[in-house]
Chain A
Amino acid sequence: MSKMYYTKEHEWVKIDGNIATVGISDYAAHQLGDITFVELPKLGKAVKQFEVLCAIESVKAASDIYAPVSGSVLSVNETLNTRPEIVNESPEESAWMATMKMTDPSEVAKLMSREQYDEYRKGL
Chain B
Amino acid sequence: MELLRETPLIGRHREQKALLAPFGGWNMPIQYEGGILAEHRWCREKAALFDVCHMGEFLYRGDIVDGGLEDVFTFSVASIPEGRSRYGFLLNEHGGVIDDLIVFRLAKDEVMIVVNAGTAGNDFGVIRSRLKAGATQFSDISSATGKLDPQGPLSRDVVADLLGRNIPSIPYFRFITTDVLGSKAIVSRTGYTGELGYEIFLPAEKTVELWDKLLKDPRMKPAGLGARDLLRLEVGYSLYGNDLDETITPLEAGLEAFVNFDSEFIGKDALLRQRATGLKRSKVSFRVGSRRSPRHHYEIWSGDRKVGITTSGGFAPMLGCGIGLGLVSPEAAAMETELTIRHENVSMPATVCELPFYRGGSVRK
Instruction: Find out whether the CB atom of A34 lies under 8 angstroms from the CB atom of B293.
Output: no
Contact-residue bracket for chain B: 10 to 19
Q: Which residue of B lies closest to A31 (CB)?
A: B19
Instruction: Find out whether the CB atom of B293 lies under 8 angstroms from the CB atom of A57.
Output: yes
B292 near A: Cβ within 8 Å?
yes
Instruction: Find out whether the CB atom of A37 lies under 8 angstroms from the CB atom of B36.
Output: no
Residues of chain B lying within 8 A (CB to CB) of residue A55: 346
Instruction: Find out whether the CB atom of A84 lies under 8 angstroms from the CB atom of B291.
Output: yes
Task: Give the interface of B toward A (CB within 8 A).
Answer: 30-31, 35-37, 226, 230, 290-293, 295, 314-315, 346
CB B124 to nearest CB in A, in angstroms, measures: 32
Given contacts A37-B293, A37-B315, 13 further A-B contacts (CB under 8 A): A33-B35, A33-B36, A33-B226, A34-B37, A36-B37, A59-B36, A59-B37, A59-B230, A59-B314, A59-B315, A61-B295, A62-B295, A85-B37
The answer to whether residues A59 and B292 also contact, given A33-B31, A34-B37, A37-B315 and a CB cut-off of 8 A, is no
Residues of chain A lying within 8 A (CB to CB) of residue B230: 59
A60 near B: Cβ within 8 Å?
yes
Residues of chain A lying within 8 A (CB to CB) of residue B314: 59
Residues of chain A lying within 8 A (CB to CB) of residue B293: 36-37, 57, 59, 62
Question: Could you say which of A33, A34, A37, A61 contacts B292, with CB atoms under 8 Å apart?
Answer: A37
Task: Give the interface of A toward B (CB within 8 A).
Answer: 33-34, 36-37, 39, 55, 57, 59-62, 84-85, 88
Q: Which residue of A lies closest to B37 (CB)?
A: A34
Instruction: Find out whether the CB atom of B292 lies under 8 angstroms from the CB atom of A60.
Output: no
Residues of chain A lying within 8 A (CB to CB) of residue B292: 37, 39, 57
Q: Which residue of A lies closest to B35 (CB)?
A: A34
Q: Which residue of A lies closest to B316 (CB)?
A: A36
Instruction: Find out whether the CB atom of B346 lies under 8 angstroms from the CB atom of A36.
Output: no
Residues of chain B lying within 8 A (CB to CB) of residue A33: 31, 35-36, 226
Residues of chain A lying within 8 A (CB to CB) of residue B35: 33-34, 88
Instruction: Find out whether the CB atom of B315 lies under 8 angstroms from the CB atom of A60.
Output: no
Q: Which residue of B lies closest to A34 (CB)?
A: B37
The answer to whether residues A37 and B226 also contact, given A57-B315, A59-B36, A59-B315 and a CB cut-off of 8 A, is no
